[in-house]
Every structure is written in C-alpha cells, then in structure tokens.
Structure 1
Amino acid sequence: MSDIATELKVRALHSDFAIEIDERIDEIMNDADAIDQIRQLWQTSPLIIFPRQCLEEADQVRFTGMFGKCETANRKDIQSPYHEEIIYFSTLRYADGRFVGGFAGGDDVDWHSDQTFIGRPATGAILYGVEVPKGGGDIYWADQYAAWESLPADIQALVEGRTGTFHYAKRFAILNAPELKNTEQGKKMAALPPVQHPVVLTHPVTGRKALYADPTTLVSIDGLSEEENARVLPILFKAGGNPAFVYRHKVRNGDLMFWDNGCTMHRRDEMSVDQPRLMKRTTFRLSADAHCVPH
C-alpha cells in the first residue's frame, strides 16, 4: 500500500456516520490504494467531506466514476455546457436573465433523498461547492441506519419487507424549484408516474438496515390501510430527521461532499438569493453487492 493510502488524514464528524478526509482529490485519484481505502471507509461512513478542493469539472467526473457508473444529467436545462454528467445549483444568471443552474430559491429545503421518484435511483452523489453563500445555506445529513434502529419494535415489524409508493407530484408541491414553475418541463415532471421501493434497505456487506422513507415523495406503504399509513408515516418521517442523527455542515468554497442516498437524507437551510452560489453535482449508480440500493 502506498504512503498516501496509509496516511489518509481522516477524522470523525459525527460518530462513524460522517467523516472528513483532508486530502487533495487531484492527488489521490492517481493512487489506487487510496481510492480503495476510501471505498472501504464509505461502507460504514456514508457521508464523506473533502474540504477545500480545487477541481476542474473533468476531475469531478473522473473521481465520481471511481465509485460507480456516473450518470448523464437528466435535467438538460441546468446541465453543464462542458460535461453532461454535471448539473449546476446556482443563483447566478446568464446575460439574458436565465438561471445558470437550478434550485435558485432561497427557502429552506425539506429532508429528502435524491431520485426516490424514479424506478432505478442513482443513490451515489457528489456536490462540489465552487461558490457558496457566506450566510445561510448550511447542509444537513441524517443517518438513516440510526433512524431505523430508533423505531419501536412494533413499527419495525409492521414496515420491514414492505414496499412504498413514491411519487414526484408530492415533492413538486413541496420543493417547487423556481425555474420549473409554469413550464412544460415542470408539468412533465409533476406528471411522472408513481414508483415502488422497499422502505427498508439492507447493506449487503455490513448487514445494517436503513430506513428509506423520503417524506417528500413517499405517499403510502403498500399493504397498510389508510388509517395505518396515517399513523405510521409521520413516525417514519420524524425518525428520519431526528436531530440526534444529524450532521450539520457549514459549506465553504471548495468543499466536496460525497454521500450515499440509500442510507442518508439531506436538506439545507434558508439562504439569501442575493449572494452568489454555484455548486456542481454528479450522481452515480452504486453496486447492489456493496451498497444499499433500492430494487
């Protein structure tokens, strides 16, 4: 094993759920042993922060591809003009008034997991903060392993092994991005059909179970009565966002955040839209034999 891999500077941010690796990504990408060590750490720490990076878009795409199949972005309106795998989150505008990226609103964002509204979610995600607000906009991640373990035994017995119905229309009503309002694309996304996913995922390596109950898209648990759903869903949603299981990150320019949507949820604080913001996200498909992947 190389010197870089044996000397990775790792520190815990929140139990074993969130860690920081203080290394330059452009250097460790060239060390196979270092990348393998990160893969192993990610098995038990589904949120990794790499502080203060300086990356070209090609570097972000390359780094993403080392952990799973990097997706082509499905939102063409906010896609990078240079790399189709990257989308922009931004308050910036082009000269003609169009937003450079999406999700420019300053309101706070509710707890959610990415892509729960499609049949085959790409659960791996990387978000790179090129320019971030000085005030507000902090990002939070919630440990869904701990959320599952905190549930009462009767609730666990009731929902384990069941699938849930997830629908984008629910998210569209809650997190309606400004650039989608009153647009044909917005209407198409709101009309996406519901999909089914398990509400409990099991990590194939560690055996730990994670709650998979996105409050912005999960509308019901299959096989439960309307009354049971009305009782159980609020319990799951409360457990998913339990403050005891949350790591709060004050994002700084250059921070790269790397997480697994199969066993985490995330949200952000309100921020000022008057402050410049540009963040670049890639998503990637994880192997079902090494990660919590909804089938």
Structure 2
Amino acid sequence: METLVRLEGTPLKEGVAIEVHAQVDDFLRGVRPIEELEALWRAYPVLIFRRQSVLEEELVGFSSLLGECEVVSRKDILSPYSDKVIYFSTLRYADGRNLGGFAGGEDVDWHSDQTFRPMPSTGAILYGVEVPRDGGDIYWADQYRAWSLLPEEVQRKIDGRTGTYRYGKRLAIMNATELKGKFDEMSRVPDVQHRVVLEHPLTGRKALYADPTTLVSIEGLTEEENARILPVLFAAGGDASAVYRHKVLSGDLMMWDNGCTMHRRDVMTLEQPRLMKRTTFRLPAAKYCVPH
C-alpha cells in the first residue's frame, strides 16, 4: 500500500494526469525527497508542473534523479549546450538551419517513445519554453486502462507473449516530411522484441505495450489471429476513456512514463513560435514498467 504520496496536486484526469503543486527546484535542492515524486508518479503516469523556469542543466539534473539520462545520438536536433537535451521547434538559427526537429505542422499518431529499440528509455520530460497559442495540444492515453478494456479472450491470448516492433513501420507513418531521404538506413534496422503486456514490479498493475506505429506481430499467434487482434489492441490503446488532453502553456514541464502511456499531438500552427526541450531517461526495472 502506498503511504509516501504527500505531494499536493490537482487531478487533471483521475488516475492518468495530475498538476503537481511543487517546483522542480524543490527536488534538485533536496527540499522534497524524490521518493515523494516517484510515489505520485505510480498513481498518475503523467505529471504536469506549471510555470517552471528551468535551465538545461537543471532539466538534465532533474531527469537524472529519476533514471539514467540518455545521451542523444541524433545531432541535428541536439541542443548546442547539452548532449542530453533535444529541441522541437519552428524556429531557425541565423544560418537558416532548423532549431531542432519535428517542426512540421502535421499531427502525430499515437505512439510510445523508443519501442523500436532493444532497451527503450521509457522516462520522458518535455519542457515548453515557447508554446504557440493555437494547435499542438498533446494527448496521453493510460495503458493500464487500455489493458482493462480488452476482452478477456484477448487478454489471455496476449499476456506473456512477445511482440515484434519495427522502426520501418514508424518511418512510413510519422515525420514523413522531415525524415524523408535523411534516415533511409533506419528503415533497415533490425526488428526488436518486447512483451506486449508489461507488469509494474511494485503495484502488480498490467499495462498494454502495443505501439501502433511499430508493433507488427505477436509471437505464437497465427497470421489470421494477428490480423484480428492487433486492431483491437490499437483501438484500446487510444480509447477516449483512457485519454487526457493537455493544452500546453509556456513554462509547462510535462513528465510521463512510456511504459504505461502512449501520446500524440494535434496539428500545429507553424506561423507561431515554438520551442520545446526534451530529455529521455532509463527508468530502473525494479521500480517501473520496463520492457525487456
């Protein structure tokens, strides 16, 4: 039983998202123990901190309190100040280069980050430095809820099974404008395998791990069973009853667990400035739903 949740917050969607009544600096300075935040995160897989003013080194430091902050390999969207921070932006440098990536206004489909990697960094933080007033709302879908929505027959079919996840599928679905012709070799990276149902080691709750942009099949199922069951999983993953929609404001710091959520973004207005900073970090398997 949880006894450590003492942080105050305003639920934005019960069991899914909560606005935390604290400052990131409280945890960096040790005013509040990080265990309080971890306990709240187990109850709400999406945490929203409003009106934050965070330097990049503080963003990395805060991420590192929760897990191992990832060094980013994609240099074209990397911060010029940190190898652990990437930019999503509509802005440009003085020489005309895009300031970061994912600047296109297209909507983004439901997905979990890094499902195409053998060891995904499932923790993520997105910090809104400059946010457009119109468009670009972000949605998170609770995958604990998604699991509970599946028919029992489907639950029995998939629980304990491994899925095949393919980056080539995502490349064909998402970021087509930006990535076309730049990362063609990525379409040939080897498939990876993960359990399609993850279990939280502390709470025992089960979460669906069925990213529709990368999952192509489930081992042990026939071709006909895969054709029938995969659409059921994808529909449950984005079911409206599991979704929280967030109107992002400048100064919002949004933190989520990719092991038990999916997310997507609305079409974005390109004529307004946008600068978002993101970190990803490897969560410990002893405390979180981590794909193996």
TM-score, length-normalised on structure 1? Answer: 0.95
Q: Is the 8 A contact 1:104 1:177 kept in 2?
A: no
Q: Is the 8 A contact 2:104 2:178 kept in 1?
A: no
Amino acid at match of 1:227: E
Task: Indicate the residue corresponding to 2:18 in structure 1.
Answer: 19
2:273 corresponds to which of 276, 281, 284: 276
- The offset of 1:39, in angstroms, is 1.0
Amino acid at match of 1:131: E
Task: Indicate the residue corresponding to 2:48 in structure 1.
Answer: 49
Aligned to 1:270, the other structure's residue is in SS state coil
Question: How far apart, in 2, do the equivalents of 1:152 and 1:251 lie?
Answer: 34
Question: How far apart, in 2, do the equivalents of 1:254 and 1:177 lie?
Answer: 29
Whether 1:196 aligns to 2:193 is yes
Distance 1:180 1:86, change over 3 A: same
Task: Indicate the residue corresponding to 2:29 in structure 1.
Answer: 30
Task: Indicate the residue corresponding to 1:251 in structure 2.
Answer: 248
Aligned to 1:148, the other structure's residue is in SS state helix
- The offset of 1:262, in angstroms, is 0.2
Amino acid at match of 2:126: L
Question: How far apart, in 1, do the equivalents of 2:127 and 2:66 lie?
Answer: 16
Task: Indicate the residue corresponding to 1:266 in structure 2.
Answer: 263
Task: Indicate the residue corresponding to 1:102 in structure 2.
Answer: 101
- The offset of 1:32, in angstroms, is 5.5
- The offset of 1:6, in angstroms, is 9.1
Task: Indicate the residue corresponding to 1:210 in structure 2.
Answer: 207
Aligned to 2:255, the other structure's residue is in SS state strand
- The offset of 1:20, in angstroms, is 0.9
Task: Indicate the residue corresponding to 1:285 in structure 2.
Answer: 282
Comparing 29-38 with 120-129, greater Cα deviation is found at 29-38
Question: How far apart, in 2, do the equivalents of 1:98 and 1:271 lie?
Answer: 20
Distance 1:6 1:145, change over 3 A: closer
Aligned to 1:83, the other structure's residue is in SS state coil
Question: How far apart, in 1, do the equivalents of 2:123 and 2:160 lie?
Answer: 23
Whether 1:159 aligns to 2:164 is no
CA displacement, residues 2-28 of structure 1 (integer Å, 9 cap, x when unaligned): xxx997431211112211102221233
Question: How far apart, in 2, do the equivalents of 1:207 and 1:283 lie?
Answer: 24
CA displacement, residues 198-227 of structure 1 (integer Å, 9 cap, x when unaligned): 000000000000000000000111111111
Aligned to 2:66, the other structure's residue is in SS state coil
RMSD: 1.4
Task: Indicate the residue corresponding to 1:222 in structure 2.
Answer: 219
Q: Is the 8 A contact 1:8 1:22 kept in 2?
A: yes
* Residue pairs, 1:177-192, within 5 angstroms: 177-183=176-182, 186-192=183-189
Distance 1:223 1:71, change over 3 A: same
Question: How far apart, in 1, do the equivalents of 2:199 and 2:210 lie?
Answer: 14
Gaps of at least 5 residues in structure 2 are none
Task: Indicate the residue corresponding to 1:173 in structure 2.
Answer: 172
Q: Is the 8 A contact 2:141 2:261 kept in 1?
A: yes
Point out 4+ residue stretches in structure 1 off by more than 3 angstroms: 5-9
Aligned to 2:186, the other structure's residue is in SS state helix
Question: How far apart, in 2, do the equivalents of 1:7 and 1:54 lie?
Answer: 23
Distance 1:121 1:32, change over 3 A: farther
Q: Is the 8 A contact 1:99 1:179 kept in 2?
A: no
- The offset of 1:177, in angstroms, is 4.9
Amino acid at match of 2:45: P
Task: Indicate the residue corresponding to 2:232 in structure 1.
Answer: 235
CA displacement, residues 150-192 of structure 1 (integer Å, 9 cap, x when unaligned): 1000000001110000001000011025332212xx1122221
Aligned residues: percent identity? 61
Comparing 15-24 with 221-230, greater Cα deviation is found at 15-24
Gaps of at least 5 residues in structure 1 are none
Number of residue pairs matched by the alignment: 289
Question: How far apart, in 1, do the equivalents of 2:57 and 2:89 lie?
Answer: 19
